Chains A and B, each alone.
Chain A
Amino acid sequence: MCVRVEQHCILDVDKKEKKVKITVDGKEIEAYEGEPILAALLASGIKVNRYTVKKHEPRGLFCGIGQCSDCSMVVDGKANVRTCITPVKEGMVIMTQDGLK
């Protein structure tokens, strides 16, 4: 299942950014440098970014512009990083956030 937009009547959707590799929960995925981490994850079919503290419920993309915190993940050891407004860098290590406030 490819979820990138491959062709578009109005937008130029050919990615010109450098292809890089990032690690998500120990698995390597491809991403484009500078795109939001969240977008790279969605393009790889990953829709769950964190689990809530009390009820352990999954959360994912909700506002997409840094206003809510549903897409928070652990990025390079730092928790509560809003992945929708944080750009991808080569070699980033990302973890699903579980049980953190």
Chain B
Amino acid sequence: MLERDVLVVGAGPAGLAASIEAAKAGADVLLVDLNMKPGGQLFKQIHKFFGSSAHRSGTRGFDIGKMLLDEAEKAGVEIWLQSTVIGAFPGNLIAIEKGIDGGEKEVITLKSKKVIIATGASENVVRFKGWTTPGVMGAGAAQTMINVNHVKPGNKIVMVGSGNVGLIVSYQLMQAGCDVVALIEAAPKIGGYAVHAAKIRRAGVPIYTKHTVVEAIPGEDGTVCKVVIAEVDDKFQPIPGTEKEIEADTVTIGAGLKPATDMVKLEKCRLTFNGPFGGFIPLHNDKMETSKKGVYVAGDATGVEEANTALEEGRIAGISAVESLGLIEPKEAEKMRIEIWKRLEALRMGPFGERRQIEKNNILAEYEEKVVAAVEMD
């Protein structure tokens, strides 16, 4: 049977960082990802990243992706693409549907001493009349099309949602040559960073706060040709008589993300619900270990944040996994973790970050209370 020291699931920033740390320490690492290329969502991030200049901020996301792939290769990380975990069984056994040449799949059972889950997140949906019409899509989907595949999803875009995703993707759609004809936000305030809003305003994009999409109207070909928006009241209900029709062929929805927890459920890790982090997430400790011994988590799957925090959490998970394999000294591992947690704290400051710091602390505390205490009771 195929055996590995560490299996990492998901080749985004968290999974890559975890793989690199583990492989650098001498572990045999297998990284699997369902996509055609590794990098997760990094390769569609063409803007310069915020964060600390000591850690590659000011560098464009896809360049960070390239650096990580380089490091992973040098560290000897084995990557399987178009591959999906389909089962987890007692005795550290994992079933993987492996993509092989020619588009075929083969099911392989792997025995892995440690598992790191870095499955990321999926986009939330806003439902309105006609939301399933071709031409209505996730903001991230549109971003993948323009920045990775270099194909425009449409020409006239209505963006829904003013979080950082909605604002950044609006800007990037214009960079690709599309027109963003409106940005719609149900709340009275813009959700994302002011600087992101400012750059699309300068480019002439109207931002409609306290508005919602009422309907996407298909044309003869069955795809979107008009979008109806309306003002909303304090309960986010459309106010009759305020409807406005906008000519557009595309509606992109940037309504936040939800942690992808299929894999942590497969491993029967204990979950908790956390609104600010986007939904159900696995409980974990400061080593990023879940309620199941030997199973670690990192990145958006532990609560939606951004690429920098995902990278740092991935590093912690990788270090902790190889520490438990005896490949690095506990003292050394603890020293590295303390450094990384410090950097994470800096990323979770200010009006946009402090809430996440509070929630992270709550999750660590809940782990102590529910997981550690339960083990001690046994």
Listed in ascending order, the chain A residues whose CB lies under 8 Å from chain B are: 3-11, 13, 15, 34-36, 39, 42-43, 47-49, 57-67, 70, 84-87, 89
Q: Supply 18 further A-B pairs (C-beta < 8 A) apart from A9-B175, A42-B151.
A: A3-B151, A4-B152, A7-B177, A8-B150, A8-B176, A36-B149, A42-B152, A47-B223, A60-B137, A61-B134, A61-B137, A62-B136, A63-B140, A65-B141, A67-B122, A67-B260, A84-B144, A87-B36
Determine the chain B residues whose CB is within 8 A of the CB of A89 once the complex forms.
Answer: 103
- Ranked 8 nearest A-B pairs via Cβ: A60-B134, A64-B141, A39-B149, A64-B144, A58-B222, A5-B150, A47-B134, A13-B150
CA distance A8 to B199 in the complex (A): 17
Q: Which residues of A contact B153 (CB under 8 A)?
A: 42, 61
| B149 contacts across to A, CB distance below 8 A | 35-36, 39, 42
With A and B bound together, what is the CA distance between A10 and B141 in angstroms?
19
Cβ of B144 to closest chain A Cβ, rounded Å: 4
**Which residues of the other chain, B, contact A15 by a CB distance below 8 angstroms?**
150
Counting CB contacts under 8 A, is B126 at the interface? no
Chain B residue contacts of A62, Cβ below 8 A: 136-138, 141
Q: How far is the CA of A22 from the CA of B271 in the complex (A)?
A: 45
By the criterion of a CB under 8 Å from any partner CB, how many residues of chain B are at the interface?
39
Say if the beta carbon of B92 comes within 8 Å of chain A.
Answer: no
Q: Which residues of B contact A65 (CB under 8 A)?
A: 35, 41, 140-141, 144
B132–A61 touching, CB < 8 Å: no
Q: Do A11 and B150 touch (CB < 8 A)?
A: yes
Partner of A63, one of B82, B122, B150: B122
The complex places the Cα of A8 from the Cα of B173 at a distance, in Å, of: 11
- Asked if B46 lies at the interface with its beta carbon under 8 angstroms from chain A, I say yes
Within the assembled complex, what's the spacing in Å between the Cα atoms of A34 and B155?
24
Residue numbers in B under 8 Å from A7 (CB-CB): 177
Distance in Å: Cβ of B14 to nearest Cβ of chain A: 16
B215 at the interface (CB under 8 A from A): no
B60 at the interface (CB under 8 A from A): yes
Asked if B147 is at the interface of the complex by the 8 Å CB criterion, the answer is yes
Q: A36 to chain B: which residues have CB within 8 Å?
A: 36, 149
User: Which one of B146, B149, B222 has the greatest number of beta carbons of chain A within 10 Å?
Assistant: B149
| Chain B positions 17-63 with a Cβ under 8 Å from a chain A Cβ | 34-36, 41, 46, 60
A42, A62, A89 interface centre (most CB from chain B within 10 Å): A62
From residue 257 to 288 of chain B, which have CB atoms closer than 8 A to chain A? 260
Q: In the assembled complex, which residues on chain B have CB atoms less than 8 Å from the CB atom of A10?
A: 46, 60, 175
- A64/B134 contact (C-beta < 8 A), A8-B175, A13-B150 known: no
Which residues of A have CB within 8 Å of B151?
A: 3-5, 39, 42-43
Across the interface, do B144 and A60 meet the contact criterion of CB distance under 8 Å? Answer: no
Residues of B within 8 A of A4 (CB): 150-152
Which of B211-228 touch A at CB < 8 Å? 218, 221-223
Contact, CB under 8 Å: A63 / B145: no
Q: Which residue of B lies closest to A61 (CB)?
A: B137
Query: Given that A48-B223, A57-B132, A62-B136 are contacting pairs, would A3 and B152 also be in contact in the complex, using a CB cutoff of 8 Å?
Result: yes
A64-B176 CB under 8 A given contacts A5-B152, A58-B223: no
Give the CA-CA distance A13 to B152 in the complex, in Å.
12
27 contacts between A and B (CB under 8 A): A3-B152, A4-B151, A5-B150, A5-B176, A5-B177, A39-B145, A39-B149, A42-B145, A42-B149, A47-B223, A48-B221, A57-B132, A58-B218, A61-B137, A61-B145, A62-B136, A62-B137, A63-B137, A63-B138, A64-B140, A64-B145, A65-B141, A65-B144, A66-B34, A67-B260, A85-B36, A86-B36
B135 at the A interface (CB under 8 A): yes
**Interface contact A58-B133, CB-CB below 8 Å:** yes
B152 touches A59 (CB 8 A): no
Give complex CA distance A48, B219 in Å: 13
| A70 contacts across to B, CB distance below 8 A | 132
Which residues does chain A contribute within 8 Å of B145, judged by CB atoms?
39, 42, 61, 64
Residue on A nearest B176 in the bound complex, by CB: A5
